[in-house]
Chains A and B, each alone.
Chain A
Amino acid sequence: MIVFAADLKVLPLAVFAVVLAITLAVTFWAAKRTSSATDFYAAGRGITGFQNGWAIAGDYMSASSFLGFAGLIFLFGVDAFVGLMAAIVAFIPVLFFLAERMRNSGKYTLADVLSFRLRERPARLVTAAGTLSVVLIYLVAQMVGAGALIQALTGITFTPAVIGVGIFMLAYVIFGGMLATTWVQIIKATLLMAAGTVLTLFVLAKVGFNPVELFSRAAEHHPKGDAYLKPGLQFDTGLPLLSFGIAFIFGTAGLPHILMRFFTVPNAKAARGSVGWAVFLIGTFYLMVMIVGVGARALLSSSGVKAAGPTGNLAIPELALNLGGGQGSAGGDIFLAIISAVALATILAVVAGLVISASGAVAHDLWSNVIRKGRDSEKEEVWVAKLAAVGIGVLAIVLAIAGGAGFNISVLVGMAFTFASSVNFPALLLALWWRRFNTMGAVVGMLSGLIASTVLIVMSAPVWPGADSDTGSPLGSLGLANPAIFCIPIGFLGCFLGTVLSSEKGNDREYHELYVRSETGLGAEAADPVRGQPKQPAAQQRAPEPVA
């Protein structure tokens, strides 16, 4: 008999049940408004810029940025600020180069933008492969984290916790599509911002709103003293830190579930506006995470420090318990329950966004356009998308349970960002901006990014078989768990060499069109497509281009 729960914590479960009930009500509401493919993938393109900004924040800030980064700051001090800061700066290139252009030239998926000017099938195949590898790795990381977290916070054991998360995630996506996913993300972002604000105010009140007091108390309580306020505790050499930061800065611009959000708004103006709201929210939240992380170090007693665990993941829940009045007090229990429920809601919103972007890659790119060559009906595509969501969800659940706690979550997350930055980002950027770019360039570039990332991550110290802290990576100090600093240039180089070395002629006409459309919004997908209209015959026919 499997043990489903040991030592159930009733209060956190009760608060979480309320949150779940709200999200299910939203899903029920959304389900009645979701029928077409545009509804399913893009919420009918009816999300406002303001709403989308909150949804991006909810999509982006995973439990790892709430509990994980705060825990790392609690453990290692200022070194752990860097990852958060790279993650917010990352939105600058997203706004400058992608947000409006995705909205203007795409439909549902990243591959839409690439296949606009490249040969359809190879472009969609490699882009879908890039999307699926990023999403699946990130999804497994989130599921493993969710399982461990739910076990710690509620007492439900790992396996049923992962299955439960998977069921809710699939319910949002399958019944409510992008509309439900969006509102789950908005609700979660609201809860997260509220929880962050309350925690920050409590922490600051404890130190008399004096930042100097906050930092000096934290250093006093850290076993390494003043070293807590100096770099070097988390990363003892510079290169891993630099590469880790670069993976975040350029990886965000290749995250399919984030870029997909730009298809949900009515126009380019709303797309760029949503980035404005998102950076306001995420920046504010990361500022609060820094204060709360340092605050946990300054305020937790030695038993609290112990309860925060070796990864620091439980530092924030422990801090909430402490701020509410401590172990056994009603205030402490309630505050802990609320923070735990917020953390759980956070996980659900992120995994739902991931699954919907993966289902787009399978159903829209692989099934509808590569396998069925666009001859399927819209109904069929939505149906396949839902099946794909189930398949991906089940695969992630199985992988998470099989790997269990054996998966190193930070390696998985780093891997997802490395893939996103070196596989998706170079090809996407060049498709929009480089006139000569061609299909061979995209295929070679994405494959070389994929292969380079995989090989280098396998050869890094945390993964290489038999490597421990003594033997390390076979590459020595160049063996990085986040090798983005090498992989991004390799990805770009692959795109460049594939383009210039192939005899394939770039398709000028298509580039002119993509360029003009992406800049002006001419011919962009309508916000409210009229359904059921007979398809017009193809207006333009073009001779098949020579295959390279």
Chain B
Amino acid sequence: MGNQGRVVSGTAEGEGGRFRREDAAPGRDWQAIEGSPEFQQLVRARRSFLVPATIVFLVVGIGYLLLAAFDHGLMGKQVFGGIPFAFLAAVSQILLTWILCGAYLRKADSTFERLEQRAAEAAGGHDR
């Protein structure tokens, strides 16, 4: 406990500051941790979710803006007997946000968290 992590990059001008590196495990070899199979597995797992999810976010989110900005014909349509298509398109953005955020949170709880834990343990564990 009481590990006041530092936030100063270790340049001369930051020396002696109270945000100096004060880790309880000063000798951590971050490069080695980064190269460890456990860490790599974590990064791969997260990336394999984030890359497709980000593509969905950009395509649907920016796509919505492009349609709203330039396709007035489609956005001006009325569907289901009088509901503006623009309203449904707007609601789709709320659903997009809920679905993508929900999916990330589920994945984080079910997978990433466990992998983070393993990577941290392989690196000698949390220092508090």
Contact = CB atoms under 8 A, between A and B. Distances in A.
Interface of A: 77-79, 81-82, 84-86, 88-89, 91-93, 95-96, 100, 106-107, 112, 115-121, 123, 211-212, 215-216, 229-232, 235, 238-239, 241-242, 245-246, 249, 268-269, 272-273, 275-276, 279-280, 283, 286-287, 290, 369, 373-375, 378, 507-510, 512-513, 515-517, 519-526, 528-530, 533, 535-536, 538-542, 544-545
B125 to A, nearest CB: 9
Contact of B76 (A93, A229, A512, A544): A229
Contact of B18 (A115, A229, A245, A535): A535
A374 B15 CA distance: 8
A79 B64 CA distance: 12
A535 B8 CA distance: 15
B72 A522 contact: no
B2 A374 contact: no
28 contacts: A85-B93, A86-B93, A89-B61, A100-B108, A115-B7, A115-B9, A121-B13, A212-B81, A230-B75, A235-B69, A246-B62, A268-B116, A269-B108, A272-B104, A276-B101, A276-B105, A287-B91, A369-B8, A373-B14, A507-B9, A515-B30, A522-B33, A523-B3, A525-B4, A530-B1, A533-B2, A538-B15, A545-B11
Contacts of A96: 50, 53-54, 57, 104
Specify the main secondary structure of chain B where it touches its partner. helix
A158 to B, nearest CB: 34
A225 to B, nearest CB: 13
Interface string B77-105: 01011111011001101101110111011
A290 B120 contact: no
A232 B11 CA distance: 54
Interface in B49-74: 50, 53-54, 57, 61-62, 64-66, 68-70, 72
Contact of B30 (A81, A241, A513): A513
Size band of the interface chain B makes with A: 35 or more
Contact of A375 (B17, B91, B94): B17
B48 interface: no
Interface centre among B30, B104, B127 (most CB of A within 10 A): B30
Contact of B7 (A91, A106, A272, A283): A106
B118 to A, nearest CB: 9
B94 A286 contact: yes
Majority DSSP secondary structure for residues of A touching B: helix
Given A78-B84, A283-B94, A375-B16, A231 B76 contact: yes
B84 A369 contact: no
Interface of B: 1-23, 25-28, 30-31, 33-34, 39, 42-43, 46, 50, 53-54, 57, 61-62, 64-66, 68-70, 72, 75-76, 78, 80-84, 86-87, 90-91, 93-94, 96-98, 100-102, 104-105, 108-109, 113, 116, 119-120, 123, 126-128
Given A119-B9, A544-B11, A512 B30 contact: yes
B116 A524 contact: no
Given A93-B57, A373-B13, A374-B17, A215 B87 contact: yes
A512 B64 CA distance: 37
A257 B71 CA distance: 35
A231 B86 contact: yes
B127 to A, nearest CB: 7
A95 B101 contact: yes
Contacts of A121: 11, 13
A239 to B, nearest CB: 7
B97 A92 contact: yes
A370 to B, nearest CB: 9
Contacts of B9: 115-120, 123, 507, 510
Contacts of A508: 31
A437 to B, nearest CB: 13
A540 B101 contact: no
B90 A212 contact: no
B86 to A, nearest CB: 4
Nearest to B49: A96
Given A106-B7, A516-B30, A530-B2, 9 more contacts: A78-B75, A86-B93, A119-B11, A229-B84, A245-B69, A249-B62, A280-B98, A515-B30, A541-B10
